[in-house]
Amino acid sequence: MMTRYLLPLVAVIGVTFAIYTVVQARQSAAPSKPVVTPPSRPTTERTLAGSGLVEARRENVPIGVNVPGVVTGVFVKKGDLVKKGDPLFRVDDRDLRAMIRVREADLASARATYHKLKAAPRPEDVPPAEAAVEEAKARLNDAEAAMGRTERLYNRQMAAASDFDKDRFTYSASKAALAKAIAELERIKKGTWKEDLDVAMAAVDMAQSQIDSLKINLDRLTVNAPTDGEILQLNVRPGQFAAMTWKEPMIVLGDVQRLHVRVDLDENDLPWFEKNAKAIATLKGRPGVRFPLKFEYVEPYVVPKQSLTGYNSERVDTRVLQVVYSLPDERPVDVYVGQQMDVYLKAAEAKKGVNLDSGGPSKDPFAEPSEKGAEKPGAEPSKGGSNRG
């Protein structure tokens, strides 16, 4: 008897439980509360939003080396304030110093040669030349006397013609030797030829230029600060090999007395952008801390976006316009170079007859936009259709 009533009761309970389970499974779960409250737009008006990166006033200056080599000394540390021209670090310079000493010896030799030619003739060079002239005169007189005797004997047919020719040619050779000795004496007395001095001076200049070139390369081995600023990063150590190509700069230098914010504006928002529009920045995840911004300049070349925020809606193929604003000197909290900020700009109003709202493509792309399409920024589209031109 009990089985007759118990089995239908169990069946009814099972069906009821199954219906309840299906109904509960179809209900959507309650949205989870975010750990950090997402930033909200500061006004109800239409605004442009972009991700900003804090940088130094003159941008962050990455510093490398002019000549590769082993680092022998680092003269700064992180956070140091440096002036333009202050040494930052040095690369091994022993080979260049040795080459400079060799070139200095070449320069000394070239200068000695020049001074030797310029001081000529030496007092000791003249007497030997004068003695050579006297010797040539004596030989000429002897040859002239011998030729006269032989000529008289030849005229009397007492000497052979060959002997007369021999004495006659000896006389001509002695006469030429005397002329040569006199010319050599005059050359010595006049000193060095001007063109020879010019050649010697050119050798001196060449040796000096080689030393100057080596000294310039020696100075390049010491890397100096290109501008005033603070050492933001230091990635170089003594004994490290400094290469011409590097993945990260050895030193990052920046002027942090006044900070800038570089904002990436999506290319789709550019029609709403206005240079002098009101702009504010907030800390990442802290919308209550606001910084009024002052427009500085625009980099007019639209570039692919590199700093990604991590949102799922962000596309990697987005191109952005980089706009630079300056942060106020008096700030409620400290801000550091490299920190990300959320930046909001007041959108410009569309010109009359221009529809900047997104919408479906027009059937006729050459059709004039309707007056209804030129609505104020942020206006809701009319019911029953999108804003078409």
Distance CA 85, CA 307 (A): 32
Nearest C-alpha neighbor of 84 from the set 219, 220, 227 = 227
List, edge to edge, every strand of the sheet that includes 294-304.
Answer: 286-292, 279-283, 340-346, 47-56, 259-266, 319-326, 294-304
User: Considering the chain, what is the average pLDDT of its residues?
Assistant: 83
CATH of 47-57+258-373, one of 3.30.470.10, 2.40.30.170, 2.60.40.2240, 3.40.50.620: 2.40.30.170
**pLDDT of res. 347:** 87
**pLDDT of res. 87:** 95
**pLDDT of res. 96:** 93
pLDDT tens profile 332-363: 888 888 899 999 999 888 777 777 666 555 55
Assign 44 a pLDDT band (cuts: 50, 70, 90).
Answer: low
Strands (E), the chain: 47-56, 61-63, 69-74, 81-82, 87-91, 222-224, 229-234, 241-242, 251-254, 259-266, 279-283, 286-292, 294-304, 319-326, 340-346
pLDDT tens profile 21-30: 888 777 776 7
**pLDDT of res. 312:** 57
Nearest C-alpha neighbor of 357 from the set 321, 313, 320, 388 = 388
CA quadruple 25, 28, 33, 35: dihedral sign: positive
CA quadruple 343, 358, 352, 319: dihedral sign: positive
Which of the residue ranges 13-17, 141-145, 338-342 would you say has the lowest mean pLDDT? 13-17
CATH number of 61-91+221-251: 2.40.50.100
Two structure tokens written together for 383: 């019911």
**pLDDT of res. 214:** 94
167: exposed, middle or buried (Cβ count in 10 Å: 0-12, 13-18, 19+): buried
State whether residue 136 is helix, strand or coil: helix
Whether the predicted pLDDT of 177 surpasses 70 = yes
**pLDDT of res. 126:** 85
Give the total residue count for the chain. Answer: 389
Assign 310 a pLDDT band (cuts: 50, 70, 90).
Answer: low
Distance CA 261, CA 339 (A): 9
Which residues does residue 62 pair with via DSSP β-bridges, in sequence order?
Answer: 252
Residue 264, φ and ψ in degrees, nearest 5: -100, 110
**pLDDT of res. 380:** 44
Q: What is the pTM of this model?
A: 0.53
Q: What residue ranges do the domains of the chain occupy?
A: 47-57+258-373, 61-91+221-251, 98-216
**pLDDT of res. 89:** 95
Whether the predicted pLDDT of 381 surpasses 50 = no
Average pLDDT for 200-222: 94
The residue that leads in pLDDT, 23 or 195, is: 195
**pLDDT of res. 309:** 57
Q: How many CB atoms within 10 Å of residue 339? A: 15
Whether the predicted pLDDT of 370 surpasses 60 = no
Assign 90 a pLDDT band (cuts: 50, 70, 90).
Answer: very high
The residue that leads in pLDDT, 354 or 155, is: 155
CA distances from 377 to 293, 353, 381 (A): 22, 13, 11
Assign 122 a pLDDT band (cuts: 50, 70, 90).
Answer: confident
Which of the residue ranges 4-13, 40-49, 130-139 would you say has the lowest mean pLDDT? 40-49
Whether the predicted pLDDT of 258 surpasses 90 = no
Nearest C-alpha neighbor of 271 from the set 371, 350, 380 = 350
Omega cis (within 30) before 361: no
CA quadruple 233, 235, 236, 242: dihedral sign: negative
pLDDT tens profile 233-251: 999 999 999 988 878 889 9
State whether residue 112 is helix, strand or coil: helix
Nearest C-alpha neighbor of 253 from the set 180, 185, 337 = 337
CA distances from 389 to 96, 330, 377, 380 (A): 72, 47, 15, 16
Average pLDDT for 3-17: 79
